[in-house]
Amino acid sequence: MDFGLSDEQEQIREEVRRFGENEIAPVATEYDEEEKFPHDLVEKAAEMGLTGATIPIEYGGAGYSALDSVIIAEELFAVDPGCALSVLATSFGSEAIMGFGTEDQKERYLEPVATGESVMGAAISEPDTGSDVSSVSTRAEKDGDEWVINGNKMWITNGSVGDFFVVLCDTDPDAEDRYAGFSQIVVEADRDGFSSEKITGKMGIRASDTAELIFDDVRVPEENLIGNEGMGFLQQMQFFDETRTGVAAQGVGIAKGAAERALEYAKQREQFGRPIGDFQAIQHKLADIHTRTEAVRQMTYKSAWAVDNDENLTTLASMAKEFASRVAVDAANECVQIHGGSGYVNDFDAERLYRDAKITQIYEGTSEIQKNIIARELLGKGF
C-alpha cells in the first residue's frame, strides 16, 4: 500500500486547513467558553462538502474516501477539536444508513445532512450502559405498523441540536442470542414524546453538543427500521470499526496541532538570553512529539486504506484509535509543558488542546476496550 497522497488529496488538505485557519481559529475560544454549537460554521463547511464528506455524490455528499476523510479530520482537529467535531459529526450515524438503509431512507436522511440543512446523531450509550453495548435497555415494541420507543440515551453527540437520530433499541429482550435482540431505528426529534437535555460543564470539546435523550412512548413508522430487525448489534460493530478510524484521525490532528504550537513557541520564547528551542530538554520533547505523530499518522492512514479496500480492520482500527488517542494526550501534555505557565491559561491554544485531547481516549470505545479487542483478536487468530 502506498500512502503517497495524490495531488487532489494534497489540495483537499490545503483547502481544509485554510478553512480551519480562516473560519474556525478566530472563533474557537468563543465557542469553547460559551459551550455553544457553531451553526454558522456548519453552514460554511457544508458549502465545501465537509458536512457530508463520505456521503455518496448521488445523495448530495462529496463522496470522499475514508483516507480523504481522515485527512480532513486531521487538519480540522489540528486547528480546534471542538469546532471540528461539530462540523464533521453532523453526519454521525450516516454510516448505518449508507450501509443498511433503504433507498427512501438514504434520500430522506442523507441529502439534508450533506447539504447542511439537517444535523443527525447516533444514540447508543445509556446512563448505565457505556462500553457494554449489549446491555442497552431502550425498548422498541411493535404496535401495528409503528414502533413505540421508551428509554434514555446518554452522552449523545448533537443530542440537543440534531434533527434525527439512529437509535439502538432492544426489540427482542427474549432472544436466545442476546446480540440478535437489537435493532437500529431512525427517530426524528420532532416526534411526540421525544426530548433532550443538553449536558454542560464538559472538560473539553465544548463547542460540540452533547445531551441526554428521553424517549417516552415515541412512535415512529415501521419503515424507520434500518435493515433487518435483530441486526442492529452487528451493524453497530461495523459502524465502530469505521468510526474508530475517524477518532484515530482526530488524535493525529490534535497531536499535529500540539506539535505545531509547541515548535512555534519554542522558537519564540526566550530564557537565559536565547530561544528555549536551543535547550536539549526542549529539543527532545519536540523530537518525540513529531516522531510519534508521524508514526500514528501512518497507522491511521493504513486503517483508512483498509476501510477503502474492504479489508478486515477490527484489530487495526482499535490499534490506531488507542495509539492515536494516547499520542494526542501526550503531545498536548508536552505542548502545555513547553509553554510553561503560559500553557496553563487560555492565552494560548495549548490549554484548550490539552482539555480536548482526553475525549479521544473515551468515546467510540475507551482505550481499555480497544486493548481488549486487540488482545481478543490476537489470541483468536494467533500471531
Residue 77 has which C-alpha cell? 482537529
> Which grid coordinates belong to 295?
508514526
Give the length of the chain: 383
Give the Cα separation of 66 and 243 in Å (integer).
Answer: 10
364 is catalytic: yes
Q: Please give the grid coordinates belonging to residue 363.
A: 468515546
Residues 6+ apart with CB under 8 A from 367: 322, 325, 326, 361
Q: Note whether 288 and 338 are within 8 A (CB).
A: no
Give the residues across from 168 on adjacent strands. Answer: 184
Name 42's Cβ contacts closer than 8 Å, sequence gap at least 6: 51, 86, 87, 90, 116, 119
Please give the Cα distance from 35 to 160 (Å, whole number): 12
197: Cβ contacts below 8 Å, ≥ 6 apart: 160, 211, 212, 214
DSSP state of 91: B
Strands 164-170 and 120-123: parallel
> Which residues does residue 126 pair with via DSSP β-bridges, in sequence order?
129
**DSSP letter string, 139-192:** EEEEETTEEEEEEEEEEEETTTT-SEEEEEEES-TT-SSGGGGEEEEEEETTST
Which amino acid, 371?
K
186 pairs with which residues across the strands?
166
The 10 Å CB-count burial string (b at 16+, else e) for 171-189 is: bbeeeeeeebbbbbbbbbb
> Cα–Cα distance between 24 and 179 in angstroms, integer?
42
The Cα 44–Cα 50 span in angstroms is 9
**Residue type for 220, please?**
V
Q: Which helix (H) or strand (E) holds 159?
A: none
Residue 217 parent element (H or E): strand 210-221
Which one of 222, 364, 368, 377 is the catalytic residue? Answer: 364
Name the residues annotated as catalytic. 364
